[in-house]
Structure 1
């Protein structure tokens, strides 16, 4: 684009601009375009800059308010609450600039209003294998359906949230972004994709996004980015919490290694609700780091710059970058160095790529596809090390000075060596009572207890029991009169009945009206929680008819789908519904929040 203006710019200016643009991220390009347009509007480039700061600020404010007099509609589609958080923070940032905001959930949005919108920001997460979250399903179906309207008068942008370790990263946001364009809407910015560490990026994204909407409405906005009050106040501070207890829950001879860990949060300013998770910052195993550096022939004391800080490559790999999980983007980055056709073919085949990503770590990759690379190049390939999430297994009201988690150590053999999960092995092997761990609370608005008098069915095999321990503590604390039914499963009764004494105690006290267990390896035919649901199908259906809420926590790949299919089957058999009506009934349970899941 610059090349068309060689009669205006010098060759040196053109080369400088190209070099600057090439080195910017999409978010930085977005912000810069709005910023340059804005200062041009104010007269800076015409040779008549404003002489007083206050005049400039007043002009900027009037520009934005005038340009966006129709307001921006901000809609979020969320599962755990992340999209809602981003949308709310954008609203705060925009309103501080005088922009009118109409904020709401896609679950409550009247789709027919879409054709009347003029400025729309959609913030949406991706659930499961690229599907929209429940709250966005109707909107998603509407814009892809036959009744979708022409949207030629709509200016829009989409902020997509996801986890780049999944192949279908931000897929729902990508789908909505492209479909709105097909319907005639005008995108004011490129799709904005946020990974799991998105909170650190919001301050940089929002000003440019507001400017983009302002420009689309005919009057670019200008922002004073030097002022500290432009920074959003962040409640997401990490806190050092001391380990109070660390108890191995499995008995001798178990094939599993599950820990109950208690942290001291007294006077830490942390609070949480049943259903929330605890984010934990872990460090990579030092032996794994040593093996990676040895294989790449990189001196562990070589210095690299990470986030404007000069540290050794060893320290960077221990605490700053992901090594135990591979992502599609990391493979693509690495392939640029490897120049290996076999690796290129693997990346180009979705099935092979998904299979390879499951279980392989970075050391596997460099062993199978060797490259020559220096320390700086290595840091450019790897993903920033994200925190790990664990469902909280305690109630704050029941015990406000502590937060508990239930951690299953991940260990497996692959390529003739042992692999360990990053955070689970960090907590299992490196952390002991008295040690401090960096933590913070992660809200999960999509997994909440109902009113006290509602019946609750909880299905949580293995470490999926964690939030239900929190639920039961909360209902005991509140004296909730609602009935409670737990389905729990694991491998062996003798060694893997997690929290056995507590659960049996709740049953004897009457807090747990029913406790059904499935220990898969205690008999020849494996028995899982879905089999127990099937056996109690008639009573489960009666609870559903009585308004019961169903909660599911645990493995998303197999168990979760099996349990949901069994619930549909119960509706068919004991409710006398057709398959189509049973699925419709189940969909209504989800949309009314009477079925909620926390799967991983």
Structure 2
């Protein structure tokens, strides 16, 4: 992840030099909320990173990660650290920097691969994945490997990428020396990973003729924090201008600052919740298609940043750089102020992982506190039980934990090393470039709820956007477009069925706008649900206009709280089975919204529609639905 920061800072420095003699009154920030790596000593790009030297006779172990949010990369780093304790020469490598042909030269490769969306590889793994699946890919008989997959069982294609990669490598005659592992992000991802890697090293050592010994890993700090004189470093602080940047690539590693040009509340004043409509002006090189996502890097709430500053007794204006102890003169982030570090680069709300408790135990001076921290950091059954009860279920944050362990006084830089970086938040774009070519629209509920500890948790990005004043100079967001496979049919005459309760209507607003500007469009039905037509019926007036001008063929609503018996979109789907079934023979079906219950209930309802209106058995109905998915005619954008 450090490569993200480095690439971003280099581009920003170039921009600063370019604009230094042409200063205008344009918005700046210093620097943007780009990922701050919580993991390895060596993660800079190839021409900057500190070099490790492979000893004679040492076996190479390359850990390749395909990651969308950073978790797979974090797992890769954990594996690499453990590999070193067994004598391997380990390297963590972004899979986008490898090709399948490169694998022929490797002794041992471990893949940590996340599945994204509808069974797709992550953005950084796509090129490698496509090349591996190509029939021209050469055999790999000398490669020894294993795979750990990161998925979510609420999604239809659970861990599809890891499974396909594993199967393909076997087809190419590679040697799998440990059974593939799979983790479920909906339930027990970290526990699944820990259980898998506990069984990993003994067979690996046997395969390479290495003596296996259980090694206790001591979590020691590997980052250093350098303080600088503010005046001396002022000229090197990175500033960023929203215009004039000559950049060919704008993506998760290279976002650009985009201006919020409009913001409004979509719920009525009587609502106890808030839902924002934002319009964001695009950089001229940013292009999108209806159905794509916009990624936004948020800023942490100033109140919570101040809590960290107070706890660690920091000077918020102190200018610092963060570096690896292996390469102290090659900054990983900075120079920037401590406040900027905590505001933009680190996830101060992250639920602490077990690795962090293993490190905290080192700092505790009270015996009982040390034992408790060691238990929370352990991976046996008792450790997981304690962790789930104390950390996971109540969603306890690091500062809340430290308050319960007063004898534990960890160093600030060690904590920064061990907590996750700030990650981008992704939103389904609720507009079409055919109607809004220069802006993307975002539809987002402002998240706020009480955790098990009594703390009020506020969604980081939505609350940050809610605080933005469109008239101020700080109303910019670091953004990029992420391409999606959630697409309208190529033939506009194809019927479409859209099912999107709440903010799930977002991409369908874009679809309808797209069809408004398309000739010869086919039938379309939108199933929309909310609590009450007078409180949270999103875009009600717009949808009525689309019905009037023919952009939308039919709107079916489900207002769950307007009658004694709650009614949801799946109920409306069943009520209209005789109208839906004839469309299903040719239509594309789209579902957007909650993955835990809504999408599953809609799936069941569709199966029932096929059974009852199509006069099919349950098995035949499932086969029909599966065929829709295989042909790309049943697509989901769920979270």
Q: TM-score, normalised by structure 1?
A: 0.67
User: Is 1:439 aligned to residue 479 of structure 2?
Assistant: yes
User: Which residues in structure 2 correspond to 1:129-528 (within 5 Å)?
Assistant: 129=153, 133=157, 136=160, 154=175, 167-168=188-189, 234-236=249-251, 237-265=254-282, 267=284, 269-301=285-317, 305-306=321-322, 307-326=332-351, 328=353, 332=357, 336=361, 339=370, 340=372, 343-344=376-377, 348-349=384-385, 352=388, 356=392, 359-370=395-406, 371-414=408-451, 415-433=453-471, 435-445=475-485, 447-451=486-490, 452-528=492-568
What is the rounded CA distance, in whole Å, between the counterparts of 2:487 and 2:183 in structure 1? 22
**Offset from partner CA, 1:314-361 (integer Å, 9 cap, x none):** 322111101234264565466545632563478513993698267544
Deviation digits for residues 341-388 of structure 1, max 9, x if unmatched? 563478513993698267544444334455312321221221111111
Paired residues in the alignment total: 487
Cα 1:416/1:594, change in 2 over 3 Å: same
User: Would the alpha carbon gap of residues 583 and 169 (structure 1) be closer, same or farther in structure 2, given more than 3 Å must change?
Assistant: farther
CA contact (8 A) 2:119 2:161 kept: no
Question: Which stretch has the larger CA shift, 471-480 or 117-126?
Answer: 117-126
TM-score normalised according to structure 2 size? 0.63
Distance change >3 Å, CA 76–CA 496, structure 1 → 2: closer
Distance 1:295 1:408, change over 3 A: same
The 3-state SS of whatever aligns with 1:505 is helix
User: How far 1:571 moved relative to its partner?
Assistant: 2.4
| 1:548 counterpart (587, 591, 595) | 587
Q: Distance in 2 between matches of 1:167 and 1:456?
A: 36
Q: CA deviation at 1:488?
A: 0.9
Answer whether contact 2:321 2:333 (CA < 8 A) is retained. Answer: yes
CA contact (8 A) 2:592 2:636 kept: yes
Match of 1:597?
Answer: 636
CA root-mean-square deviation: 5.0
Partner secondary structure for residue 419 of structure 1: strand
Unmatched tracts of structure 1, length 5 or more: 1-21, 41-63, 92-100, 188-231
Query: Which runs of 5 or more structure 2 residues have no equivalent in the other structure?
Result: 1-39, 61-100, 209-246, 323-331, 365-369
Partner SS state of residue 259, structure 1:
strand
Q: What SS does the aligned partner of 2:567 have?
A: coil
Q: Determine the C-alpha separation between the residues in 1 that align with 2:497 and 2:311.
A: 51
Note if 1:567 corresponds to 2:606. Answer: yes
Instruction: Judge which range, 566-575 or 256-265, deviates more.
Output: 566-575
How far apart, in 1, do the equivalents of 2:461 and 2:637 lie?
19
Provide the secondary structure at the position in 2 that maps to 1:366.
helix
Could you tell me how far apart the structure 1 residues matched to 2:602 and 2:625 are?
12
Among 70, 75, 79, the alignment partner of 2:117 is 79
The 3 A distance-change label for structure 1 pair 65 and 323 is closer
Would you say the 8 A contact 1:324–1:421 is kept in 2? no
